[in-house]
Structure 1
Amino acid sequence: MGKQSYWDAAGLVFVAAVWGANFGVSRLAMDTFDPALFTFLRFGLTVPFFFILLRLREGSVGVSPKAALQLMAIGLFGVTALEIAVMYSIKYTTLANASLLNVAPWPIFAALFAPFFARETMSRRLVAGGAAAIVGVTLVIVGGGEGIDFSSQHMIGNALAFGVSIVGALFNLACMPLMKRYSALRVSAWFILFGSLFLFPLTIGSWGKVDWAGLTAANGFAVFYNVVFCTVVAFIVWNRCMFRIGATRSNFFRYVVPAAAVAAGYLMFRETITLWQVAGALCMAAGLVWISTDKKARAD
């Protein structure tokens, strides 16, 4: 990988850390907002930002009718369905189960499905680094003390969490062909627009339950962080970097998310960090560094 690829890897780590820290930030708002409404605010409020920025940077905002249909499907499955599945997987299984099944298989499915969307190469370095990262993220999640429970009472939540990995990998890969024709900014703007439109009907009963006059600074910060950093900045940077170094390599950097979530829990809520989690974070970091030094570039 060249110098630009190292910057792309750094961009992916930054985005994953932002998403991981959001577990702590969003917890500040969950007592005030229904999860579906909060998710809609996160994506819906970004739509004007995306299209204004797109107009200023590129001079136009349009896509072809065929691309619009593709982006509509990506928004439906990659934003609406994916975010709902994440919420309900957390509701119907343990947080450790959801974290492990949401995150760990995602890059594996991305690698398996990648040949159907883009010509990407698999190297021994990528396999070895990915294996180390998988071991590391598993230690980060399982080492937290909550443990893994695959009993029948969590079957629905576990299935949803595992489905998130499959849908999420397909979501990332489906963007790749479109980003050969349009910028990451344009692709992100349109699938988030469609995803927000599909989310809105799910919030109809939630707006009247919020004490809008009583919103606190913490609530405002949580919304701002989700809109600006977790969505506008994160989606543009992630898609741009993913396109340049390949979806297979990029998705292993998602393993930074649970490590960042653990760090946010410690800093914001004084949650305990165990030695197993520290060891897992180091193992994961070593795997990601090994992947980022892979000299085999993505095949376009």
Structure 2
Amino acid sequence: MYQMNKNLKYYAGLIAVAAIWGANFGVSRNALETFEPVLFTFLRFGLAVPFFFLLLKWKEGSVGLPWKVVLQLAAIGLIGVTGLEIAVMYSIKYTTLANASLLNVAPWPIFAALFAPLFVKESFTRRLAVGGAAAIVGVTFIILGGKEGFNLSSDHMIGNLLAFGVSVVGALFNLSCMPLMKRYSPLRVSAWFILFGSLFMLPFTLGSWGKVDWSGLGAEHYATLVYNVVVCTIVAFVVWNASMFKIGAARSNFFRYVVPATAVVAGLLFFDESISGWQIVGAVFMAAGLVWISMEKKSESVRAPIRMETKEGAVP
């Protein structure tokens, strides 16, 4: 039986989460006129923290981890949430949106596939290479088929380097969670690294709180925050990490290419932006590549079960 049929719900989870993140470009665009990006990002993750831990307590009966693991997740949160999210914001500031989108998204799965053997027992197969190449061509057409195109001007060099760095660090961030999810649930791992990512991000927001007209916030602002906290963070991170653990990091990260495709559709729905023929062609290439990847049989080496550990010296 093909892997896609056997693990259909996990592939559906990856696609759904990527679509949620892509749609958020349209949902959150207006909110960023009210909130500075770093403050909005902090609210998204910070407000999600208590819900993560309440859900964890309810589902698993405890929230604790050994101190050694807590320190690991603190480092993962610092790099993968605080550093990564700030780098994304500044990459958009110092280069074009098309440049940032392409360099943030396209290389990420490639680095995940290349670095995967350092963290987990996954191999870079011929099917993954072929499907990944088709998906890369597709996402390139989707992003560059827009109005901006790719700009190689030296004025954008800092932003381009930051965007490319996001792909490298983001891939390592995803992979670093995989060994921990062999011992602890995706919910527990997500709760702790998002806690630390939020704490480390707080100092960067200190100059932003006074710039918001809090009394003037309307239903649209609160709805956007709820969507970001509940859907884009709590639900999305748990589903993505659980699906990634089952499917494997190398395959899963190619499904990030659904993000820019959904962002284009969100632009059409929310802002009446157009979709070009090149973007439609790109969507076909991308879909074909992802289907091809998902039909590969999963290696036995990545089927480690999730098990919970408790050790003395754990954080209660």
The whole-number CA distance in structure 2 between the counterparts of 1:145 and 1:208 is 36
Higher mean C-alpha displacement, 120-129 vs 130-139? 120-129
Instruction: Give the C-alpha shift of residue 4 in structure 1.
Output: 4.2
Mapped partners of 1:112, 1:288: distance in 2: 18
Q: For residues 152 and 44 of structure 2, what CA distance do their matches in structure 1 show?
A: 32
CA distance in 2, matches of 1:233, 1:103: 21
Is 1:47 the counterpart of 2:72? The answer is no
Q: Is the 8 A contact 1:121 1:296 kept in 2?
A: no
CA distance 1:88–1:117, change in 2 (3 Å): same
Code of the aligned partner of 1:102: N
The answer to whether residue 122 in structure 2 is matched with residue 81 in structure 1 is no
Secondary structure at the counterpart of residue 184 of structure 2: coil
Deviation (angstroms), 1:296: 3.1
**Distance in 2 (alpha carbons) for counterparts of 1:241 and 1:10:** 9
Residue type at the aligned position of 2:79: F
**1:222 equivalenced with 2:224 (yes/no):** yes
**2:171 maps to what in 1?**
169
Task: Say if 2:255 and 2:290, in contact at 8 Å, map to a contact too.
Answer: yes
Residues 236-261 of structure 1 deviation map (CA, whole Å, 9 limit, x = unaligned): 00000000110000000000000000
CA deviations over 1:184-221 (Å, ceiling 9, x no partner)? 00000000000000011111111111111100222111
1:134-213 equivalences in 2 (<5 Å): 134-213=136-215
The aligned runs of 1:13-24 (5 Å cut-off) are 13-24=15-26
- Give, in whole Å, the separation in 1 of the partners of 2:147 and 2:211: 35
Residues 76-85 or 3-12, more deviating = 3-12
Deviation, structure 1 residue 108: 0.5
Question: Which stretches of structure 1, 4 residues or more, deviate above 6 A after TM superposition?
Answer: none
Assess if the C-alpha contact under 8 Å between 1:184 and 1:239 holds in 2.
yes
Counterpart-to-counterpart distance in 1, 2:282 and 2:148: 16
Which residue identity lines up with residue 106 of structure 1 in the other structure?
W
- Listed as ranges, the matches of 1:46-125 within 5 Å are 46-125=48-127
Q: 1:84 and 1:198 mapped to 2: Cα distance?
A: 11
Cα gap change, 1:144 to 1:236, in 2 (>3 Å): same
Q: State the one-letter code of the partner of 2:172.
A: L
5+ residue gaps, structure 2: 303-316
- Between stretches 200-209 and 101-110, larger displacement belongs to 200-209
Q: Which secondary structure state, in structure 2, belongs to the residue aligned with residue 30 of structure 1?
A: helix
Counterpart in the other structure of 1:292: 294
User: Cα distance, 1:151 vs. partner?
Assistant: 1.4
Which moved further from structure 2: 46-55 or 1-10? Answer: 1-10
**Is the 2:112–2:175 contact (alpha carbons within 8 Å) kept by the matching residues of 1?**
yes
Amino acid of the structure 1 residue aligned with 2:146: G
The partner residue of 1:9 within 8, 11, 26 is: 11
CA distance in 1, matches of 2:226, 2:26: 14
2:244 aligned partner: 242
Residue 197 and residue 5 in structure 1: after superposition, are their counterparts in 2 closer, same or farther (change >3 A)? Answer: same
* C-alpha distance in 2 between matches for 1:3 and 1:298: 16
Q: What is the identity, as a one-letter code, of the residue corresponding to 1:76? A: L
Contact 1:55 1:61 in 2 (8 A): yes
Query: How far apart in 1 are the matches of 2:116 and 2:294?
Result: 18
Residues 137, 284 of structure 1: 8 Å contact kept: yes
Count of aligned residue pairs for this structure pair? 300
Equivalents in 1 of 2:272, 2:229: separation in Å? 26
User: Is the contact made by 1:252 and 1:288 (CA closer than 8 Å) also made in structure 2?
Assistant: yes
Distance 2:104 2:266 in 1: 19
SS at match of 1:193: helix
Aligned residues: CA RMSD: 0.9
Q: Which blocks of at least 5 consecutive residues in structure 1 are unaligned?
A: none
Provide the secondary structure at the position in 1 that maps to 2:200: helix
Structure 1 residue aligned with 2:314: none
Which amino acid in 2 is paired with 1:32? T
TM-score for both structures, normalised by structure 1: 0.98
Partners in 1 of 2:41 and 2:184 — Cα distance?
26
8 Å CA contact retained: 1:121, 1:299: no
Residue 122 of structure 1 and its aligned partner are, at CA, apart by 2.2
